[in-house]
Structure 1
Amino acid sequence: MKNDLIIYGYNCKNLGDDLMFAEIINKTHYKRYFFIGHGEVPHFVNKKVFFIKPGRLMKLRWKFRADFAVIGGSVLMGASSQQREAIMQKIKWFRWNKVFGGRNFIIGANLGPFDNKAEYLSLLSRLNLVVDKWFVRDNTSYEMLKKVGARYLKLMPDIVMGLNKEDYVSVRGNSIAISVTSVDKDKNSLINPEDYINEIAQIAQHYIDSGRTINFISFEDRFDLKPINEIISLLKKSEGKVSVIENNGKNVIEAISRADVVVATRFHAMVLGALFEKKQIIYSYNNKTTQFAKTYGFKTYEVTGSSLEKQPFLTKFDAHSLEFASSYGKLVQS
């Protein structure tokens, strides 16, 4: 068994990614944990974490015979030259780790999006030469990796589905949790931001008019708070009916656990909503949401300019999937 785990991922105070990191770190038994990059220890991680500074001296800071894991849902995007260069950087790091006697993992990913399938498959083939274990969370990604001959490949639940929800369950109130984000981030052009803002405002106004309170939840404050405030500015007679829940510890998870309905744009708002068996209105603002939702039979909605046809439906995960999600630690470290 390797003594060290080196992690690369989006460590920028994003709730979904922090939960993914915590599930892997807290449920494995390495002697030491390292993140590539700078920053703080992610929320929910309860073990000591060190950092490996990138740069010209990075090879001198690398660890011998370590497991190296790239963790996250959007770690293999290929829709721009910048995103393809990021895949090449991961290939370079994986090669280093092989020279240092280590193993390489991709954990929790959705493949894509990409703008040229042949080119993207070629990149995956090169990546596959240096990846020892693939753990992906949707059927589309699984089938693509079978095409490139992935050796150790598992279709797994999302990592966050292993969260112990009993730590968060509380008495339900009369509230609606609405997850909002900047839908054009990552150069996503599938949704018109103005149409999205107006439609979420329609949904929020409907629930306010029916006597509900609204909790707008932010998974990543630097992206989510701006559209949240734009939506609030459009609401009428909302005084005392609207709260903004910033990403600070357990706040967002607790707001979801108490909600009657979850309106989910953020990917992990959908996952947490289903974990707590909530009725949801799920907006598919990118391919990873659509691919995952199809895997579990969840209905998704597109922005149409009208919220009238958007009805919440019950979402939940089966017991087998939840149990399978709790096995990540064992499968990664074996």
Structure 2
Amino acid sequence: MKNLKRIILNKNKGLKKMKKVMIYAYTEFNLGDDLFIKILCERYPDTQFVLYAPRQYKVLFEKLNNISFFPSDLLFIKANNYILRKFGVTNFFRSLTAKNCDAAVYIGGSLFIQEGNWIKHLENTKSMRIKNKPFFLLGANFGPFTNHEFYSKYKDLFRQFTDICFREKHSHGLFKELNNVRVADDIIFQLKKLPNRQEEKNIVISVIKPSFREDLSNYDDIYYQKMRDIAIYFVERGYRVTFMSFCEFQGDQEAIEKITMLIPKNYLNKISSHFYKTNIDETLEIIANSSFIVATRFHSMILGWIFNKPVFPIVYSKKMTNVMTDVGFNGLYANMNNIGELKPNDVFEGMKTNLIDVSNQIKDAERHFEKLDEYLLK
């Protein structure tokens, strides 16, 4: 009996306490941001992650056993947050949740755009830090911005982080003198590939609502018209077309509805719509089974490359051209600011010219987790 107790004690001495990590992320059911969370949790199965998010995120990540949720959309939570803000207390329940964690990871893409009340966003980022605990910022790009104060205040804040890994060289260059700043290719390149499937004669058009972004407020009509023209052109050449929404909150679904209203009825039997919400696997399968991607969404471009599809980017932000430069993309593409000049035949030609090899990027993207590996896996 004594020997048995000794064996159990010795085994327990060797057991490591599972670390608990707070995740900060964009939680409005955006496919790209949700994939960040998925990749993070799958990489560290022996770490317990905590996410402050709407209740449906529990459905979204029901297959992950190492993430728990604090529901941000409960009426009780929302009411108390509203009252506490009146007294100058913000993010009370989120901070309370984070307090019991060993570290925090802020993971996302376009996290630092100068728009609206950016000071409020800066203060929100400051409040994410857990006192005397490691803080990792992974996967982001910085900007666009027009105010030097915006840049300098974030630079002061970034000095206090444990590790920062940007996803493109331009952002890294802005902060390269900070010794905690690194760069690696986009985290989504780390997505586990799906099994090979039979490729369908189907193109995916990922869309946005341009006017959701202040600088694109006048582009809705011309953009919707061009997406309509592209869809009809491909249908007339024997293809099926799937319009894809990555984020309902940002107006993608509304955009699809307006585009399809412009399409004559005799084409609609060859056109379908797919709305991402909590169906990650289904969405990825549609992309993986397609033959071509017309990509306005940044991560539809990345996913197309991962699944070895030719991609025609429609650039609405410099973050896209920055990454296209980083990966050496020399194919055909269009800019939103001259979308009116885009001809459907130019897009069609992209099927022949726009296939690239991203095997180096898939390998490089793993470096995002170098410092987090040292902390969680040591």
TM-fit CA distance, 1:79 = 2.9
TM-fit CA distance, 1:114 = 1.2
Q: Which moved more, 1:156-165 or 1:233-242?
A: 233-242
Q: Which moved more, 1:292-301 or 1:228-237?
A: 292-301
| 1:27 pairs with one of 29, 43, 58 | 43
Q: SS of the residue aligned with 2:238?
A: coil
Between Structure 1 and Structure 2, whose CA radius of gyration is higher?
2
Residue 68 of structure 2 corresponds to which residue in structure 1? 50
Query: What RMSD in Å do the two structures reach over aligned CA positions?
Result: 2.3
Matched, 1:133 2:163: yes
Give aligned pairs, total.
325
TM-fit CA distance, 1:204 = 0.8
| 1:316 pairs with one of 332, 356, 361 | 356
Task: Give 5+ residue unaligned stretches, structure 2.
Answer: 1-15, 73-89
Contact 2:312 2:354 in 1 (8 A): no
Contact 2:334 2:342 in 1 (8 A): no
Residue 310 of structure 2 corresponds to which residue in structure 1? 279
In the alignment, residue 242 of structure 1 is paired with which amino acid?
A: I
TM-fit CA distance, 1:169 = 3.2
Percentage identity across aligned positions? 22
Give the structure with the higher percent helix.
2
| 1:121 pairs with one of 135, 151, 165 | 151
In the alignment, residue 161 of structure 1 is paired with which amino acid?
A: F
Q: Which moved more, 1:173-182 or 1:190-199?
A: 190-199
Task: Give 5+ residue unaligned stretches, structure 1.
Answer: none
| 2:99 pairs with one of 40, 49, 63 | 63
Residue 228 of structure 2 corresponds to which residue in structure 1? 201
TM-score by length of 1: 0.89
1:101-180 to structure 2, matched below 5 A, reads 101-116=132-147, 118-146=148-176, 149-165=177-193, 167-180=194-207
Residue 187 of structure 1 corresponds to which residue in structure 2? 214
Contact 2:204 2:243 in 1 (8 A): yes
TM-fit CA distance, 1:234 = 1.5
In the alignment, residue 144 of structure 1 is paired with which amino acid?
A: L
1:150-207 superposed Cα distances (whole Å, 9 cap, x missing partner): 2222211111111121x25311111111101112224342761111111111111110
1:103-152 superposed Cα distances (whole Å, 9 cap, x missing partner): 11111001112121x11221222212221111111111010011xx3222
Contact 2:309 2:355 in 1 (8 A): yes
Q: SS of the residue aligned with 1:281?
A: strand
Aligned equivalents of 2:154, 2:184: Cα separation in 1? 19
Matched, 1:41 2:70: no
Residues 320/57 of structure 1: CA separation in 2 closer, same or farther (3 Å cut): closer
Contact 1:77 1:84 in 2 (8 A): no
Contact 2:113 2:144 in 1 (8 A): yes
Contact 1:133 1:152 in 2 (8 A): yes
1:269-308 to structure 2, matched below 5 A, reads 269-298=300-329, 299=331, 300-303=333-336, 304-308=339-343
In the alignment, residue 335 of structure 2 is paired with which amino acid?
A: E
Q: SS of the residue aligned with 2:29?
A: coil
